[in-house]
Structure formats: C-alpha cells, structure tokens
Amino acid sequence: MSCGPGIFTIPAAEIAGVKGIIHAFDVRSQPLERVRGKAENAGLTNIRTILAENSSLSTGLQDESADVILVFDMLHTVTDKEGLFRELQRVLKKNGFLSVFPMHLGTVRLLEIIEQSHLFCLRDRFSLPGYRSPSEVVNFIKYQR
C-alpha cells in the first residue's frame, strides 16, 4: 500500500478539516517523510503516517474505524488483492465507502476481483469526460449479508 508523495493525501486532509483524521500508509519511509513535510508546510495537523511492513496487508486500524478509504493508482502493485480487500472491509464502517481508481489495472479487472471477493457492492462509478483510460473511479459499500 502506498500513499506516495501525498497527491491524494494532502487534498483529503484539507477536505476532512480539523475534525477528520487521514491515515497515510506506505511501505517506504521516504514518501511518508514527504507527506509529513507537505502537511507541515500546509499547516495540516490531521494526517497520521503509518509505515507498513512490505509483507503485511494489515493497516493496524481498529475494526470499522474508517469512513472513507481511497485506493488510488496503487492496486496494481499489490500481489494479494483479495487480502487487501479483506483488510479494507474490516476497517470500513458500515455506512462508509471504498473509492478505487484502478489505474494500470483497469475497471473491468477491478470489478472482477470485487465480485469474486463478495466483500463489497458497487455504489457508483465515475469517469472524466474526454479522459481516455481503461480506468475510472469506482466506489463500493460493504456487502451486507
């Protein structure tokens, strides 16, 4: 999992405001340092950086503790996608949603993986007009059994 240089982390923290907490995960310390620096420069105090073990998909978060989870442009780097989605389903609140931009993987493949997992249901999907890509932002809710 990777927050990278904070392309989505910093805007998410600005949107969440002082009452929201953003958890930024990465398996490398350098991107987390960049995110911390950008947050400090922007006056943001609501970002928590977490250095994850490269071999672990654990977020370290409590069950049903996240309102929104963003998985943007990194899913293609995860070998155990089903394991990742199990972990995300565990930490997502019942009324929360998972938002995925499957760049480099494609929407069709993402939907196949989600359907096989039986962990999430499609909420909605978006593509930018004029933007040609096999991927779009796809939002999911927890599968209710």
Q: Which two tokens stand for residue 83?
A: 């394991």
Q: Which two tokens stand for residue 36?
A: 């911390």
45 and 77 inside one domain: no
Using pLDDT thresholds of 50, 70 and 90, give the confidence band for residue 53: confident
* Continuous segment of H or E residues that includes residue 82: helix 81-91
Can you name the residues that pair with 98 across neighbouring β-strands? Answer: 69, 140
Q: Label the pairing between strands 47-51 and 66-72.
A: unpaired
Q: What is the number of residues in the chain?
A: 145
Instruction: Give the pTM.
Output: 0.89
143 and 99 inside one domain: yes
Query: What is the structure's pLDDT at 57?
Result: 81
CATH number, position 129: 3.40.50.150
Domain of residue 31: give its range.
1-56
Give pLDDT tens digits for 90-140: 999 999 999 999 988 989 999 999 999 999 999 999 987 777 777 799 999
